[in-house]
């Protein structure tokens, strides 16, 4: 049974056009040539032949599924097939899984950096546990707390009061005992959970920016950024659990 087109697309996209072992790009150009050439091969983890590489591992109904394929360069394909005792099924599956996780992480990181540099865009994680609050607020010099338009005045007041409390928490962070911090964080999270039930989600991030204050030379300052977002107001702004916001070019947070 031949490998399906959809299976090929999934395998190549998840592998990021790179060999799962040596990381070499698998679509390349020859010098002075206009056309591309492919050095990648869709390799079977378990051979369909019992005497083939890893073929005695188990019988499969279909040997051409995504789960039984790994994308390699020709050299590494030959390597794993000539030494199946070293490159067992478990090892090859781990190589594939680790490689695809590496590709996904690298792409997400590069995308976030690209968006931030080119469009002044930040991706904020949803605040779900107390450590999310603490990581954003602790040690901050400035604050950028925003509330998307909400027609309910009572909810707006609740959010504003929470933001005031978080500013106070950040200002006195170093003076608070650990037990007191824990109690405060639990209270803040309880408030956030209550507002979640009313359709308000909170997204936060700690960012570092350079500023020149008065006569002090430019220095890096940590900014606590939290956005209270009415979920049904703009669902397109939330992607993969992250809130995407574009900061103004003259972005200036508040002190204390």
**Mean pLDDT, rounded, for 167-194:** 92
- Provide the mean pLDDT of the chain: 85
**Mean pLDDT, rounded, for 99-107:** 84
Of 87-91, 134-138, 181-185, 247-251, the least confident:
247-251
pLDDT band at 109 (very low <50, low <70, confident <90, very high): low
Q: What is the pLDDT of residues 10-33, one digit of tens each?
A: 999 999 899 999 998 888 877 666
User: DSSP readout, the chain?
Assistant: -PPPHHHHHHHHHHHTTB-TTT--BSEEE-TT--SEEE-EEEEESS-SSTTSTTTTS---S-TTSGGGEEEEEHHHHHHHHH-TTTS-HHHHHHHHHHHHHHHHHHHHHHHHHHHHHHH-EEEEEEP-SHHHHHHHHTT-SEEEEEE---S-HHHHHHHHHHHHHHHHHHHTGGGS-HHHHHHHHHHHHHHHHHHHTTTEEEEEEEEEEEE--TTSPPEEEEEEEEEEEEGGG-GGGEETTEEEEE--TT---EE-
Q: What is the pLDDT of residues 65-90, one digit of tens each?
A: 999 999 999 999 999 999 999 999 99
**Mean pLDDT, rounded, for 139-149:** 85
Residue 1 pLDDT greater than 80, yes or no: no
Is the pTM higher than 0.75? The answer reads: no
What's the pLDDT at 78? 95
> Which one has a higher pLDDT value, 166 or 152?
166
pLDDT band at 116 (very low <50, low <70, confident <90, very high): low
**Mean pLDDT, rounded, for 39-53:** 92
> Which one has a higher pLDDT value, 26 or 122?
26
């Amino acid at each position: 049974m031949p490998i399906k087109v959809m299976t090929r697309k999934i395998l190549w996209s998840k592998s990021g056009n790179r060999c799962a072992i040596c990381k070499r790009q698998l679509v390349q150009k020859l010098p002075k040539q206009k056309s591309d050439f492919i050095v990648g091969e869709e390799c079977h983890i378990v051979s369909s032949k019992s005497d083939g590489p890893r073929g005695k591992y188990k019988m499969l109904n279909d040997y051409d599924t995504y789960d039984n394929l790994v994308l390699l360069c020709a050299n590494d394909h030959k390597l794993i097939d000539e030494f199946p005792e070293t490159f067992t099924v478990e090892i090859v599956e781990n190589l594939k899984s680790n490689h695809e996780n590496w590709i996904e992480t690298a792409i997400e990181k590069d995308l976030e950096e690209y968006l931030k540099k080119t469009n002044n865009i930040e991706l904020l994680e949803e605040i779900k546990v107390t450590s999310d609050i603490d990581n954003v607020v602790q040690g901050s010099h400035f604050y950028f707390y925003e509330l998307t338009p909400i027609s309910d005045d009572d909810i707006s007041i609740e959010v504003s009061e929470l933001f005031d409390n978080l500013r106070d928490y950040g200002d006195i962070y170093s003076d608070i005992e650990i037990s007191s911090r824990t109690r405060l964080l639990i209270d803040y999270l309880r408030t956030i959970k209550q507002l979640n039930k009313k359709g308000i989600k909170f997204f936060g991030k700690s960012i570092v920016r350079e500023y020149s204050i008065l006569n002090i030379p430019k220095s890096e300052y940590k900014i606590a950024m939290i956005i209270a977002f009415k979920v049904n107001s703009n669902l397109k702004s939330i992607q993969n659990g992250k809130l995407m916001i574009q900061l103004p070019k003259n972005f200036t947070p508040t002190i204390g």
